[in-house]
Structure 1
């Protein structure tokens, strides 16, 4: 049960990031896409996710942005970013990239100590860049193909490979593995979702101003972005 809550909350992060991660200028194209054999079902789930966002998460994000001072929000964002550095360190190690493993581990250690549990990003100021890796990228780095494009309830844009990767990401997520109290874990995951959604409010305005099929735009943006991330290994 504890992981079910984590799946829903963490999955929403993937949904929001995928929806507003960027897009190319595309026209409406109803032709069959071999990458997306389940398009009819995917579109229905896409609409469901959109309704959930507009009725639940966007209002919460707007309230959070209006009430919480920027300084505190930046600290919260840094805190969750620091936790992600730990997961990234694991991925760099699995990819046998020991230089980046050392860099990412150094970021985590510096920000967790000098940066006061990660609320301050001291490592970036020291010239240690942040990278982001996940299990989907690790599998891709070892030649695992993406498989069919999927839109998952709450999780949003994905593929068969990345869907499996998301499960593994959640299993090693620091909040899921170290916070034993259900209420505290729910609070942490909820805050992470709201902070992520709030950080995307400005990007949303530019995205919705573009006149094309949003489903196709999100799909192509997601697949192109994931390909670029994996090829950069």
Structure 2
């Protein structure tokens, strides 16, 4: 464990020193009018329920339409044809959303650009693998309490294989050689398995879209995360922040593109989050064993 702590601290220290003086970058020219029209058309296609392809510096990805599930909707008394999600904390959520966007725009997005410029993609991939590996014991505990014992066994096998053969998780032979796919499970996922409802939509400072169940999961996992057992504060906090920042950097361009082209960014990201949760819930229920 002491070796693991020293390894993770070395990774974080290398990142900080590399980004201390990021190379000067040319100012990105303004988007041509034709490009803006194309992006606006994509937003309209999403609103119409169509899947679109978004191109970023990280490649291309398909974005599913954000359609709020009917079980979460109410009919507006003013415009009876409009359907909207009941968002009791919308005022507070919008304020936090605006704060987050300001923080992203002036701190995290420029830092993510510098990070991706300095650190090669292959190195970022290995860093992500290492952090995913150290999380496996938490996945194991959550899957066990959810009654997902096969998945918990997979978590154990992945942790043993990737920590040893995979050099502390830098590589993923558990997937590549043994077909043990990741089985991530959060406290929120476990609570949902026990029919604990998600609660109202909630935007968390820095972390973004969530709900009351997700907020409880975030706080709980901050205490239970295995990093706390291999590093002492403040190093453990720094490692957790670096883990989150590494994840954020891979999504930075997508966030920037979608925010700039959404008519109401708050509603767009809220509905995307809600719809994603509904798809996960449907997928989970479809994969539950059926009683004879």
Could you say which TM-score interval applies, normalised by the shorter chain? 0.7 to 0.9
Question: SS state of the match for residue 140, structure 2?
Answer: helix
Q: Is the 8 A contact 1:92 1:98 kept in 2?
A: yes
Which residue in the other structure is 1:107 paired with? 158
Aligned equivalent of 2:263: 212
TM-score (ref. length: structure 1): 0.81
CA distance in 2, matches of 1:63, 1:48: 22
Q: Which runs of 5+ in 2 are unaligned?
A: 1-61, 68-75, 286-292
Answer 1 or 2: which has greater strand percent: 2
Which residue of the partner structure matches residue 161 of structure 1?
A: 213
CA contact (8 A) 2:262 2:268 kept: no
**Given that residues 22 and 207 in structure 1 are in contact (C-alpha distance below 8 angstroms), is that contact kept between their aligned partners in structure 2?**
no
Structure with the bigger percentage of helix? 1
Cα distance, 1:169–1:227 mapped onto 2, change above 3 Å: farther
Distance 1:35 1:140, change over 3 A: farther
**2:176 maps to 1:135:** no
Whole-angstrom CA distance in 1 between matches of 2:65 and 2:137: 32
Match of 1:79 among 115, 130, 146: 130
For the residue of structure 2 that corresponds to 1:140, the secondary structure is: helix
| Structure 2 residue 110 is matched with structure 1 residue 69 | no
1:217 CA displacement: 1.5
1:149 aligns with 2:201: yes
Cα deviation digits, residues 204-226 of structure 1 (max 9, x gap): 35424643321111111212222
Show the counterpart of 2:14: none
- Whole-angstrom distance in 2 between the partners of 1:157 and 1:135: 16
| Distance in 1 (alpha carbons) for counterparts of 2:91 and 2:200 | 13
Q: How much has 1:165 moved relative to structure 2? A: 1.4
Contact 1:23–1:217 (CA under 8 A) maintained in structure 2: no
Count of residue pairs brought into register by the alignment: 211
Structure of higher RCO (CA pairs closer than 8 Å, 6+ residues apart): 1
Residue from 174, 177, 191 that aligns with 2:229: 177
Q: CA deviation at 1:83?
A: 2.0
**CA spacing shift, 1:170–1:79, aligned 2, 3 Å:** same
1:35-46 correspondence runs (5 A): 35-46=86-97
State the SS of the aligned residue for 2:202.
strand
Deviation, 1:35, is 3.2
SS in 2 for 1:200: helix
Q: Which residue of 2 aligns with 1:13?
A: none
- Flag the structure with larger Rg: 2
1:24 is the counterpart of 2:65: yes
1:193 matched to 2:244? The reply is: yes
Aligned-residue RMSD, C-alpha: 2.5
Question: Runs of at least 4 residues of structure 1 off by over 6 A?
Answer: 29-32
TM-score (norm 2): 0.66
CA distance, structure 1, for counterparts of residue 272 and residue 164 of structure 2: 37
